[in-house]
Structure 1
């Protein structure tokens, strides 16, 4: 990236999207790196670039974009910055980053532990949560362009064996996947593991899930000496976790199998290894446990790209981090109930889907009012757009994605929770709780207007203006 920036240097600094060794090696959860610190992490987009022999994309703008209504944009900016300044979640994110949620999440049962088999490990969260990581390693907060929250971490560790020069620190998802999921309480190791995932260019959620899956396979005797090649793959062994990350990034031995993702790896390993995975539609679950928040479980099942916590706004709504009562959301949801969650999830999808289309951060949205994105569209683009039309656009985006999946063979069998999260844990904030999968799906299919094959009904697609898709999914000639 540095070489490309130097080669294409001009009056304006260029921006670079690039893949690392994992993308070149077609690791199925390879990521795309932007300027050495931000990643398009999930779904293996780095492998897509690698498959096309595309190493990097360099671009440089030559003029400043002009908003349709500069004065309206200035007023909106002043308003939302005031909201962000007063927001408790935003303050927490600035002070301790996304890992600020680790300690509370551990108490509520939101954090998965030991490959989803334990319900509580306070001794681990005390070591790898936001307060501990901030005290031990924080150099300074950092921000994406123009963001007043500054939730990114710049960290450093001077001590061996996990010494790291100043660089990007791990997010919550990374700390949970390589920490709690692997029973690893060595906070310093997380900095180095995160750094190597960045260097190889790998999604830390799927990579950490693959390592935790392999640890349980080793514990149960499904993988042994020939595959392990001397690796002591035991819970909490930080050195072994790091070594396996290297093997995945370079596709060596067991790492080559895990680089295919946990679904394919389990099929390769056999012996019932599929029961040890935790994925939906092939995408490993993020580090939020549906046993603590059943609505999140439904959102995972119905996410069009596989289990995703950012394709909607269920996370802040169900957990009470943020709410928009003017849209009909409650201020207080009981996380460990399934009945009635479908209506909330559908509306949270419709409200959240446009954020990706607008390249808006969900953390900023936690602080915004429901009409702020609409006001931004009007100020920047000059569109006469209403909040109702915004929600309709969100529904249309979801329906279009779902319809494309159905055309490519997706059926209702992929709308399911893995066995791991349908098995109750005996301790912690979510002890004894499991989502009612059938109730959640039955209510959601009715709410969204899906037929028994999981397809959006013709009348639903036509009402959304997707007439061509309605004909493709439901041809008049049968």
Structure 2
């Protein structure tokens, strides 16, 4: 589900092997390590040329500075990762923004002069590094790009709008919703915008079991049936993870509300049930939604960018069906007890003891 060429699709399998986790471990891996007091060795320490020895680039970073920009150099990806750490930039948004600028350069909407002498062709790693420095320092075109793709497109003009791939101002992560339609409704409705960690629905769709939520087998990724219900359940489950301060990588061992309630009760002496925990999560999710509604967000904002609803991911995977997207959204609202505009109804808020 790794996106390519600013979500314009195509095949990139051979080059993808050059930047895979296995290749990185073989070429530059030192050893695995854990975060403090964590039993999971899910972090790889690497020694990539041009960077300090340390934490390996994550999957999202590899996708953002790799396939999205058609760059097959692990060395460039490692340096981009380090620059983002130094400048305090999010790698997903930074990689998306560079891919956006690359497409604009390819189409002649941005010139070398506009970019301060940078020839921003696809796969040009040195150009990527140069542009990252400009973004980090807000120099020249970097001052426009530093706020992300939506504000940049608004400042640069209407011709740039169709190249923006975001929801509510947050750039789409490296899990393409055209590959897993549950991600389409997850991204569209997630309170903070397009964030895979708000729902991680694609993990369940691909077969990760959560028996206490009713999921024990993979789901067909290209149909709408059941996807809204999955998004609701996983949105609420991730609220529990956030509220307890638990790393979401624990989803890989299918930690659902049952074991989380057991942990909480063991630590606090409470007597919380899994159902009660999910009910609390539902209340929190609705409060967040009310904050967004108060700021003017509604159904018009709960959607995907045009590109993902019209352009195939590749030859054998089409776009998300627009009508299917609307059906999933309508079903999501119905399950939540929201009206047709996406506003929680007073009846639902009373049932949740929020009104």
Q: TM-score range by the shorter chain?
A: over 0.9
Match of 2:239 in 1: 353
State whether structure 2 residue 58 is matched by structure 1 residue 167: no
> Which of these residues, 324, 346, 351, is aligned with residue 458 of structure 1?
346
Secondary structure of residue in 2 paired with 1:144: coil
Give the aligned partner of residue 287 of structure 1: 174
Trace 1:18-417 onto structure 2 (pairs within 5 A).
110-158=1-49, 163-320=50-207, 322-370=208-256, 371-417=258-304
RMSD, aligned α-carbons: 1.5
Could you tell me whether the CA contact under 8 Å between 2:64 and 2:174 is conserved in 1? Answer: yes
Q: Take 1:304 and 1:447, find their aligned partners in 2: how far apart are those partners?
A: 16
Q: Is the 8 A contact 1:412 1:453 kept in 2?
A: yes
Give deviations 1:284-343, integer Å, cap 9, x for gaps.
Answer: 0111111110001100001000011111241321121x2112322251211111233111
Normalization by structure 2: what TM-score?
0.95
Give me the whole-angstrom Cα distance separating, in 1, the residues matched to 2:251 and 2:216.
17
Say which SS state the counterpart of residue 197 (structure 2) adopts: coil
Counterpart for residue 71 of structure 1:
none
Q: Aligned residue pairs: how many? A: 353
Shift of the 169–461 alpha-carbon distance from structure 1 to 2, 3 Å rule, reads: same
Equivalent residue of 2:53, what SS?
A: strand
In 2, Cα distance between equivalents of 1:323 and 1:268 = 45
Measured against aligned partners, the alpha-carbon deviations of 1:390-429 in whole angstroms (never above 9, x if no partner) come to: 1101111110100111112212111010012112326355
Asked whether the 8 Å contact 2:187–2:194 carries over to 1, the reply is yes
State how far apart, in whole Å, the 2-side matches of 1:299 and 1:369 are.
19
Match for residue 440 of structure 1 among 324, 328, 347:
328
Aligned-residue offset at 1:452:
2.3
* Equivalent pair of 1:216/1:276 in contact (CA under 8 Å): yes
Q: How far off is 1:434 after superposition?
A: 4.1
Q: Which has the larger radius of gyration?
A: 1
Post-superposition Cα deviations, 1:220-248, rounded to whole Å, max 9, x if no partner, equal 11111331121010000010011111110
Q: Is the 8 A contact 1:374 1:385 kept in 2?
A: yes
1 CA distance for matches of 2:24 and 2:222? 30
Tell me the secondary structure at the aligned position of residue 338 of structure 1.
coil
Task: Judge conservation of contact 1:184–1:235 (CA < 8 Å) in 2.
Answer: yes
Distance 2:320 2:344 in 1: 31
Report the secondary structure of 2:52's partner residue.
strand
Q: What's the CA shift for 1:369?
A: 4.2
Unaligned runs of 5+ in 2: none
Tell me the CA shift for residue 433 of structure 1. Answer: 5.5
How far residue 119 of structure 1 moved from its aligned partner, in angstroms, is: 3.7
